[in-house]
Amino acid sequence: MTDDQLSVVFGALADPTRRAILARLADGDATVTELAAPFPISMPAISRHLKVLERAGLISRSRSGQHLSSTLRAAPLQEAAGWMERYRQFWDVSFDRLDAHLRRAAPERETQ
Protein backbone atom coordinates (compact mmCIF):
# COMPACT_ATOMS: atom_id res chain seq x y z
CA MET A 1 0.00 0.00 0.00
CA THR A 2 1.40 3.41 -0.88
CA ASP A 3 1.35 6.33 1.49
CA ASP A 4 -1.46 7.89 -0.53
CA GLN A 5 -3.54 4.74 -0.26
CA LEU A 6 -2.85 4.57 3.44
CA SER A 7 -4.03 8.18 3.76
CA VAL A 8 -7.26 7.31 1.98
CA VAL A 9 -7.80 4.35 4.31
CA PHE A 10 -7.16 6.43 7.43
CA GLY A 11 -9.45 9.14 6.07
CA ALA A 12 -12.21 6.63 5.44
CA LEU A 13 -11.84 5.28 8.97
CA ALA A 14 -11.94 8.71 10.55
CA ASP A 15 -15.73 8.82 10.60
CA PRO A 16 -17.90 7.02 13.20
CA THR A 17 -20.73 6.28 10.75
CA ARG A 18 -18.32 4.66 8.33
CA ARG A 19 -16.77 2.60 11.10
CA ALA A 20 -20.24 1.47 12.14
CA ILE A 21 -20.98 0.50 8.53
CA LEU A 22 -17.79 -1.58 8.44
CA ALA A 23 -18.74 -3.23 11.73
CA ARG A 24 -22.15 -4.11 10.26
CA LEU A 25 -20.53 -5.54 7.12
CA ALA A 26 -18.26 -7.71 9.25
CA ASP A 27 -21.44 -9.67 10.01
CA GLY A 28 -22.23 -10.15 6.34
CA ASP A 29 -23.04 -8.37 3.09
CA ALA A 30 -25.79 -5.77 3.15
CA THR A 31 -27.74 -3.48 0.84
CA VAL A 32 -27.81 0.29 1.18
CA THR A 33 -31.30 0.06 2.71
CA GLU A 34 -30.11 -2.42 5.31
CA LEU A 35 -27.04 -0.35 6.10
CA ALA A 36 -29.07 2.85 6.43
CA ALA A 37 -31.57 1.35 8.88
CA PRO A 38 -29.68 2.00 12.15
CA PHE A 39 -28.70 5.55 11.23
CA PRO A 40 -30.74 8.77 11.46
CA ILE A 41 -29.36 9.95 8.13
CA SER A 42 -30.60 9.83 4.58
CA MET A 43 -29.95 7.08 2.05
CA PRO A 44 -27.95 9.45 -0.18
CA ALA A 45 -25.76 10.23 2.84
CA ILE A 46 -25.18 6.51 3.38
CA SER A 47 -24.39 6.15 -0.32
CA ARG A 48 -21.78 8.87 -0.02
CA HIS A 49 -20.18 7.07 2.94
CA LEU A 50 -20.15 3.85 0.91
CA LYS A 51 -18.39 5.62 -1.95
CA VAL A 52 -15.67 6.78 0.44
CA LEU A 53 -15.25 3.25 1.80
CA GLU A 54 -15.18 1.80 -1.71
CA ARG A 55 -12.54 4.28 -2.84
CA ALA A 56 -10.40 3.25 0.14
CA GLY A 57 -10.77 -0.39 -0.91
CA LEU A 58 -12.48 -1.20 2.38
CA ILE A 59 -15.62 -2.49 0.70
CA SER A 60 -16.60 -3.72 -2.70
CA ARG A 61 -20.06 -3.40 -4.19
CA SER A 62 -21.84 -5.81 -6.46
CA ARG A 63 -25.30 -6.06 -7.87
CA SER A 64 -27.42 -8.93 -6.66
CA GLY A 65 -30.80 -8.83 -8.36
CA GLN A 66 -32.14 -5.32 -8.04
CA HIS A 67 -29.97 -4.41 -5.13
CA LEU A 68 -26.46 -3.13 -4.82
CA SER A 69 -24.84 -5.15 -2.09
CA SER A 70 -21.73 -4.14 -0.12
CA THR A 71 -19.02 -6.54 1.03
CA LEU A 72 -16.29 -5.87 3.56
CA ARG A 73 -12.71 -6.02 2.24
CA ALA A 74 -10.47 -6.52 5.24
CA ALA A 75 -7.00 -6.31 3.69
CA PRO A 76 -6.52 -2.52 3.78
CA LEU A 77 -7.87 -2.47 7.30
CA GLN A 78 -5.33 -5.06 8.40
CA GLU A 79 -2.58 -3.19 6.67
CA ALA A 80 -3.40 0.08 8.42
CA ALA A 81 -3.71 -1.67 11.76
CA GLY A 82 -0.53 -3.65 11.14
CA TRP A 83 1.41 -0.50 10.40
CA MET A 84 0.37 1.04 13.72
CA GLU A 85 1.05 -2.24 15.48
CA ARG A 86 4.72 -2.05 14.56
CA TYR A 87 5.09 1.18 16.49
CA ARG A 88 3.29 -0.31 19.43
CA GLN A 89 5.62 -3.33 19.42
CA PHE A 90 8.59 -1.03 19.64
CA TRP A 91 7.38 0.15 23.02
CA ASP A 92 6.23 -3.26 24.22
CA VAL A 93 9.67 -4.73 23.60
CA SER A 94 11.41 -1.74 25.20
CA PHE A 95 9.11 -1.82 28.21
CA ASP A 96 9.75 -5.52 28.78
CA ARG A 97 13.41 -4.64 28.96
CA LEU A 98 12.75 -1.62 31.19
CA ASP A 99 10.78 -3.87 33.52
CA ALA A 100 13.77 -6.20 33.84
CA HIS A 101 16.10 -3.24 34.19
CA LEU A 102 14.06 -1.77 37.06
CA ARG A 103 14.04 -5.12 38.85
CA ARG A 104 17.80 -5.34 38.56
CA ALA A 105 18.20 -1.75 39.68
CA ALA A 106 16.16 -2.32 42.82
CA PRO A 107 17.10 -5.82 44.03
CA GLU A 108 16.08 -5.03 47.60
CA ARG A 109 12.49 -4.88 46.44
CA GLU A 110 12.51 -8.30 44.82
CA THR A 111 10.24 -10.81 46.44
CA GLN A 112 9.71 -14.49 45.96
Partner 1 sequence: MNRHIEITRIFDARRDLVYRAFTDPDQLAQWFGPDGCSVPRDSIEIDARTGGYLRFLMTGPDVRTRVDTVFTEVVENELLAAEMEAAGVPGVAGPLRVRLRLEFHDEGNDKTRLELRQGPFADGQLGADTRSGWESSLTKLDALL
Least distance CB 67 / partner 1 (angstroms): 29
Per CB under 8 A, the list member of 14, 26, 37, 75 interacting with partner 1 is 14
Distance separating alpha carbons of residues 47 and 56, to the nearest angstrom:
14
38: left (phi over 0), alpha (psi -120 to 50) or beta: alpha
Note the helical H segments in 1-112: 3-13, 16-25, 32-36, 43-55, 75-105
Per CB under 8 A, the list member of 2, 64, 66, 112 interacting with partner 1 is 2
Question: Would you count residue 86 as binding partner 1 (CB under 8 A)?
Answer: yes
Q: Which residues of this protein are in contact with partner 1, per CB under 8 A?
A: 1-4, 6-7, 10, 13-14, 19, 80-81, 83-84, 86-95, 97-103, 105-106, 109
